[in-house]
Chains A and B, each alone.
Chain A
Amino acid sequence: MAASADPARPGAEEEYDVVIVGAGLSGSIIAKQLAEEKAKVLVIEAGTDQSRTFDGYQAQLQTFYDTLFRTPGSPYGTNPDALSPDIPGVPGERSAYFEQIGPVDFRSTYERTVGGTILHWLGTCLRMLPEDFELGTRFGRGRDWPIGYDDLVPDYERAELEIGVSADVAEQEYLGIEFSPGYGYPMQPIPPSWLDQRLGKALDGMSVSLGGEERTLRVRNTPAGRNSTPNGDYKPVGAVNRGPDWAPIEAGQDLARDYGQRCQGNSACTPICPVQAKYNSMKTLAKAADTGHVRIVTQAVVSRVLVDADESHVTGVEYLSYDAPDSPRHTVSIARGRTYVLACHAVENAKLMLHSGIAARSGELGRNLCDHPVLLVWGLMPERIGAHRGPLVTSGIEDLRGGSFRGEHAAFRIEVGNDGWLWPKGGPQGTAVEAVIRRNLAGRRLREELHERIGRQFRLGALIEQLPDRDNKVTLDPRYTDQLGLPRPVVSYDLDAYVREGIAAAHGITSQIFQRAGVEDCTEPVNEITANVQWRGQTFAWDGAGHYSGTHLMGDDPTSSVVDGHQRVWGYENLHAAGPGSMPTMGTANPSLTVAALAFRTATDIIKQLKG
């Protein structure tokens, strides 16, 4: 271990207007917005900057190819100095990071690397429903947000522009979602898959009953953070290829510049888009670097937030710069700024504040951890629908995201998977193994059988809303540390009756969908890959969605929330905690778009603060 830095030593410190911890979605957006206002910004990233160069990014793709059983973390591997979570029980997964104490395993992961978890995101860009912001008032469940849908609309628009969302406004107006007059998405919708079209033909107009309400279902195009055909003057952003210190690579050598300006149908959105047609945070980070006002430091793990004697003012952040991921050798430095933003994902933000002994007043720090437990059902369509072609998901059934039934059980949205049985069965390789070993097929008959069977495979994933529960939490325990001596998070998690009732309700709907579309149900509730959950005598297969919220939730009362409606940490005049951890609830929307919108909102707040 290296010696501690002496904070008093002249020259050991760097001074910035803003110090941002984490080079992911929130950190990149806030860095760019502030740098455009000429603020001097430092971004400190725990992971490596491998994704920064085109070659480094492609090396991750190669790692993915050479991994037999793929997970969202496969391309990004294990960094012992900045560990990322694994999925418990999945074969070949990276080293464990969380200390899971249950009763239910938390099954979602995130990435500690430049670009952050947005490297492996699916790209879904749904806005939350207006009613999602008012669950307490409307349904007597969960919590209200301190802000409403209307407050966030301008930031949703900024986020959709920055990400480059492909969607059609008319198709996204449902359950109270309204758009500004004349608003248009940057790009046209991603074309629907053949599966979307066939399933839509079978289902559109189907009537179901939920909590006594009749609902009509339709298969609806999913707004996507992936490049399609631009509208108007919008210019899609392709792959990133940056030199040292994020400088643009000389003209003529920047092979990547025009690469990935449109989705090619690589069918690998999660975990890695080979051409970067799917948005990632490096695109925003590169724009931030182009201002000349941003310095990005990688392989630097922030270990503590330092505060002054009366604990209302942050005075610096201490970070450990390690030589190489496999080595614990590091040096200690302190960065100082006028203001600070923690933007290193829900669990890391909470871990850092807990470890620093700050933001403890409400007692909510680290608590209210949520995911979207995903009910998985899978089967064979009556005809070949062309699985494994195109973006993993291009449509969903959104009509059950809201309604008065939320007083009784969780709402949900149903994602239609173009990825065959990839999620529940690990891909078509399993079908091949079964055909060869157990069904004794070989030669032409084997090929014909796989042609028919894999071509018919599809799955539905119902993302179930989860409400904040104080006992679902991240804590620290000195017994569990990484090789830098920093804490590994201890995670307690459970699925309550509200979620389980929602899973059962969603299963009722997916069963009706299978019946109506003539789907052969092949779901195995107990299997080797997903988790399972029991409710009222039934067993369901489920998995994590990769969606985190709640570890430093926002509210309008410092005694019951950790941050305010601008993600400013209560009690500290110069500290924000940005990211999914601020979200008190997620409703049923995949959270990244809302996280991006909140980052724009926070950037505006900080600009006002710095100018004030």
Chain B
Amino acid sequence: MPADASTVSSSLPTASAREHDFVALSVELTGFSEVELLGTAIAPTYLEWLDERFAAVLSELLKAWDGVTKDYAPEDRERGVREEILADPKLGPFSRAIILLWYTAAWYPPEGNWSSIYGGRKDDSDEGAIPGAFPQSLVWKAAGAHPTAAKPGGFGMWSLPPEGS
């Protein structure tokens, strides 16, 4: 079937605090709104995947995010994320990998020698697509397109100017 068949998040009203924080941070990291990210219904899959491998680092990241929300005014959040997270030697590469996880539905191991220093369950052998997640990858939506072989626009839509032009 057209590949939109990911299960709907089973627990939206009762989503865990951890999932809530993960999505809130992801809004800041990806530039997609909470509604858009929840609409993918893929956050629980990513969270579970990360927790199996990087639970401690993820906790540290979410704690840093909590700090940003407390220490920076809403209009300064972007700067806060950059200072406290993206520029941090441990959290920066990890958060960039999370951005790419959202955008590509695949795990690109944190850059540099991050894995050998900070570990995780495994190292680069975890690189690759997250099973079943591809149709939810955001890079296509950012581009005004649709994921290859999923969520097609319908006959002839390619003749029209792209969305947002």
Chain A positions within 8 Å of B, measured between CB atoms, are 58, 61-62, 64-68, 70, 191-194, 197, 228, 262-268, 272, 274-275, 383-391, 394, 418, 420, 422, 427-429, 431-433, 436-437, 440, 442-448, 450-451, 454-455
Q: Are A266 and B155 in contact (CB under 8 A)?
A: no
How many whole Å from A504's CB to the nearest CB in chain B? 32
Is B14 an interface position by the 8 A CB rule?
no
Closest 10 CB pairs of A and B: A390-B158, A386-B162, A447-B31, A268-B149, A388-B145, A454-B143, A65-B134, A264-B152, A444-B31, A450-B142
Q: Which of A62, A67, A387, A442 contacts B143 (CB 8 A)?
A: A387
Evaluate contact between A387 and B145: CB separation under 8 angstroms: yes
Q: Shortest beta-carbon distance, A73 to chain B, in Å?
A: 15
B54 at interface (Cβ–Cβ under 8 A)? Answer: no
Residues of B in contact with A (beta carbons under 8 Å apart): 1-3, 28-32, 78, 81-82, 86, 96, 99-100, 103-104, 106, 108, 111, 127-129, 131-132, 134-135, 137, 139-140, 142-146, 148-150, 152-165
**Judging by beta carbons under 8 Å apart, are B2 and A275 in contact?**
yes
- In the assembled complex, the Cα of A275 lies from the Cα of B140 at a distance in Å of 20
How far, in Å, is B49 (CB) from chain A's closest CB?
A: 13
* Bound form: Cα–Cα A450–B81 in Å: 20
A433-B104, A443-B28, A447-B32 are known contacts; what are 10 more A-B pairs with Cβ within 8 Å? A191-B159, A264-B153, A265-B155, A274-B149, A388-B146, A390-B157, A428-B145, A429-B106, A442-B30, A443-B78
| Structural contact, A264 and B145, CB atoms closer than 8 A | no
List 27 interface pairs A-B (beta carbons < 8 Å), by A numbering: A58-B1, A61-B149, A68-B106, A68-B128, A192-B159, A193-B158, A262-B155, A265-B155, A265-B157, A266-B150, A267-B149, A267-B152, A275-B2, A383-B165, A388-B145, A388-B146, A389-B146, A433-B104, A436-B99, A442-B99, A443-B30, A443-B78, A447-B30, A447-B32, A450-B139, A450-B143, A454-B142
Given contacts A274-B3, A275-B2, A384-B165, contact A65 B104 (CB under 8 A): no
Contact A437 B96 (CB under 8 A): yes
Q: Are A446 and B104 in contact (CB under 8 A)?
A: no
A284 CA to B161 CA, complexed, in Å: 36
Instruction: Indicate if the CB atoms of B148 and A388 lie closer than 8 Å.
Output: yes
| Contact residue among A192, A275, A385, A446 (Cβ-Cβ distance under 8 Å from B99) | A446
Q: Looking at the complex, which one of A65, A194, A275 makes contact with B158 (CB distance below 8 Å)?
A: A194
- B145, A274: Cβ atoms closer than 8 Å: no
Contact yes or no, B29 A386, CB < 8 A: no
Q: Are B162 and A194 in contact (CB under 8 A)?
A: yes
CB distance from A186 to the nearest CB of B (A): 16
Q: Is the pair A264, B155 in contact by a Cβ cutoff of 8 Å?
A: yes
Chain B: minimal CB distance from A573 (Å) = 47
Contact between B86 and A440, CB atoms less than 8 A apart: yes
B31 to chain A, nearest CB (A): 3
Task: Please state if B129 and A68 are interface contacts (CB–CB under 8 Å).
Answer: yes
- Min CB distance, A375 to chain B, in Å? 24
**In the complex, are the beta carbons of A65 and B29 less than 8 A apart?**
no
B158 contacts across to A, CB distance below 8 A: 191, 193-194, 265, 386, 389-391, 394, 418
Instruction: Given A65-B3, A444-B31, verify A432-B149 contact (CB < 8 Å).
Output: no
Of A67, A264, A391, which is in contact with the most chain B CB atoms at under 10 Å from its CB? A264
Give Cα distance in the complex from A62 to B103, angstroms: 19
Collect the chain A residues with CB atoms within 8 Å of residue B140's CB.
388, 428
Q: Please name all residues of chain A whose beta carbon is closer than 8 Å to the beta carbon of B153 when the two chains form the complex.
A: 264-265, 389-390
A443 and B152 in contact, given A194-B159, A428-B140, A451-B142 (Cβ under 8 angstroms): no
A192 to B156 CA separation, bound complex (whole angstroms): 8
- With A67-B129, A388-B140 known as contacts, the answer to whether A193 contacts B30 (CB < 8 A) is no
Minimum CB distance partner of B2 in chain A:
A274
Question: Which chain A residues border B104 with CB–CB below 8 Å?
Answer: 429, 432-433
Tell me the bound Cα distance from A274 to B152 in angstroms.
10
When the two chains form their complex, are residues A265 and B3 in contact, meaning their CB atoms are under 8 A apart?
A: no
Q: How far is the CB of B92 from chain A (nearest CB, A)?
A: 9
- A311-B140 Cα distance, complex, nearest whole Å: 59
- A66–B2 alpha-carbon span in the complex (Å): 15
Q: How far is the CB of A521 from chain B (nearest CB, A)?
A: 20
Identify which of B81, B137, B144 contacts A455 (C-beta below 8 A): B144
CB neighbours (8 Å) of A433 from chain B are 100, 104, 108
User: Across the two chains, which residue of chain A brings its CB closest to B78?
Assistant: A443
Hey, which chain A residues are within 8 Å of B132, CB to CB? 62, 65-66
Indicate if the CB atoms of A274 and B31 lie closer than 8 Å: no
Q: Which residue of A lies closest to B85 (CB)?
A: A442
- Contact present for A191 and B31 (CB under 8 Å): no
A440 CA / B131 CA spacing, docked (Å): 27
Residue ID in chain B nearest A195 by CB atoms: B158
Chain A residues, Cβ within 8 Å of B164: 384, 451, 455
Contact B159 A197 (CB under 8 A): yes
The answer to whether B144 and A432 touch across the interface, beta carbons within 8 angstroms, is: no
A446 lies within 8 A of B149 (CB): no
Q: Which residues of chain B come closer than 8 Å to A388, judged between CB atoms? A: 140, 143, 145-146, 148
Most buried by A among B103, B111, B146, B163: B103
For A267, list chain B residues within 8 Å (CB): 145-146, 148-149, 152
Give, as a whole number of angstroms, the nearest-CB distance from B83 to chain A.
Answer: 12
Given the known interface contacts A193-B158, A194-B162, A388-B140, the answer about A443 and B81 at a Cβ–Cβ threshold of 8 Å is yes
